[in-house]
Amino acid sequence: MPVESPAPLTTLTEDERLLRDSVRAFAEGEIRPLVREMDEQQTIPRTLIDGLFALDVMGIEVPEALGGGNARFFHAVLVVEALSRVDPAIGVLVDVQNTLVVNAIRRWGRNEVQSRYLPRLAADTVGAYALSEAGSGSDAFAMATRGVERGDGFDLTGRKLWITNAAEADVFVVFANVNPDAGYRGITAFIIERGAPGFTVGAKEDKLGIRASSTCELLLDNCHVPTGQVLGEVGQGYKVAIETLNEGRIGIGAQMIGLADGALQHAIAYTQERKQFGRPVADFQGVQFQLAKAATELEAARLTVYNAARRRDAGEPFLTEAAICKLFSSEVAERVTSLAVQLFGGYGYVKDYPVEKLYRDAKIGQIYEGTSNLQLQTIAKQILSKG
């Protein structure tokens, strides 16, 4: 049976518009008053996290029978974009929950694993995804964390770095190599709960941007994980990682276009209010052209993100599209936020105005879930293989 074609990229259905608008309203009413405080204190209040669960955006693709939204991946993209217009730190919290943790468990978890964890992730439990290490960033499968089979499971030892949501999470998807002689085919994905013996969440990193979002190390010291907590099959962790990260990159693209949209809206409003030489700054053609170019780039980036998400939902290949949208949207976010700071002038350089934070937040888009160079490599391989 042929795969149904994706919906037109620029068209949102009624339910998609309603979802986007409800999340935007939540972001403006509940998140915006806390943005500066969260950035300075490097924390997300639990009451705000509870509000996200109440909004039903923490288990968007979880089946209704398991307490979730039973929606599509594209809905998750709209949610991350809408949240990131106000605070990309909240956007990435929801992104990791949905595009990485929930997706990995939905796709690779056995029925009993899905029944055990998906209701919690949809209702009140934050999840984290632990792949990166000190020596395995872009080369993700060069991991040093090891698993040794013992009794009814595996003893895991190692150190994970740069783990988003780690401070808030109670459920972790953790990768370790249980058969180093087999190379990447020894990598296995496990589900570990906070409080497990031998498992410790370390201190937060003191970051440039998205400071409210926690980024921590994880320490595993002979942490015993029962075989029933293996996600997928032993030795299939590399597949879990590859397929999940392809979707996660679309989520980061959504974060970046939301961030850029927020910065552009601030810049438009400010240039219409700020007067120089007796008239609003927005009356000057040079400023108008800069805003027009930024709006054009943002719309183009949005289309790459929506295209990748629609293709994923339609069951069509999206590897190249995911890499394109992450690469381009992160570059656009950096350019648009830089322009916003410039148009604000001296005010753009101080923390009293929101564009300074968004400028800091934008840089991470070119680094996590695959650097820009890694995306370029992926795109090049794909287009050359079709030549």
Q: Residue 314: give the domain boundaries.
A: 238-385
Residues 313, 329, single domain; the answer is: yes
Backbone angles phi, psi at 141, to 5 degrees: -90, 10
Least Cα distance to 308 among 236, 375, 209 occurs for 375
pLDDT of 11 reads 78
Query: By C-alpha distance, which of 263, 297, 325 is closest to 87?
Result: 263
In this structure, the answer to whether residues 303 and 186 fall within a common structural domain is no
- Residue 179 pLDDT exceeds 90: yes
Instruction: For residues 254 and 362, state if they share a domain.
Output: yes
Same domain, 277 and 358: yes
Which one of 60, 92, 125 terminates a domain?
A: 125
| Together in a domain, 242 and 374 | yes
Q: For residue 88, give the CATH number of its domain.
A: 1.10.540.10
Q: Provide the angle, in degrees to the nearest 10, between the axes of the packed helices 355-362 and 319-344.
A: 150
Q: Convert the pLDDT of each residue in 231-267 to its tens digit.
A: 999 999 999 999 999 999 999 999 999 999 999 999 9
Domain count within the chain? 3
Q: Is residue 47 part of a domain?
A: yes
Q: Considering the chain, what percentage of its residues have pLDDT values greater than 70?
A: 97
**Are 219 and 275 found together in one domain?**
no
Q: In the predicted model, what is the mean pLDDT of residues 352-361?
A: 97
Q: 258 and 334, same structural domain? A: yes
Q: How confident is the model at residue 8 (pLDDT cuts 50, 70, 90)?
A: low
Shared domain check, 348 and 242 = yes
Residue range 356-374: average pLDDT? 97
131-175 per-position pLDDT tens digit: 999 998 788 788 999 999 999 999 999 999 999 999 999 999 999
Question: Do the domain assignments include residue 218?
Answer: yes
Instruction: Tell me what pLDDT residue 3 has.
Output: 43
Whether residues 291 and 172 share a domain: the answer is no
Considering the domain boundaries, does residue 8 fall inside one?
no
Structural domain contains residue 271 = yes
User: pLDDT tens for residues 368-384?
Assistant: 999 999 999 999 999 99
Q: What does the block give as tokens for 287?
A: 């400023």
Structural domain includes residue 57: yes
CA-based Rg of the chain, rounded to a whole angstrom? 21
pLDDT of residue 137: 79
CATH number at residue 380: 1.20.140.10
Q: Last residue of some domain: 189, 209, 235?
A: 235
**Same domain for 229 and 287?**
no
Which domain CATH number covers 231?
2.40.110.10
Of 125, 144, 173, the residue that ends a domain is 125
Cβ–Cβ < 8 Å for 79, 243? no
Of the pLDDT bands very low, low, confident and very high (cuts 50, 70, 90), residue 10 is low
pLDDT of residue 49: 98
Beta strands in 72-168 (DSSP E): 127-130, 146-150, 153-164
214 and 262 assigned to the same domain: no
So which residues are the catalytic ones? Answer: 369
Same domain, 261 and 340: yes
For residue 1, tell me if it sits in a domain: no
- The per-residue pLDDT for 6 is 54
Residue 133 belongs to some domain of the structure = yes
The chain-wide mean pLDDT, for the chain, equals 96
**134 domain residue, yes or no:** yes
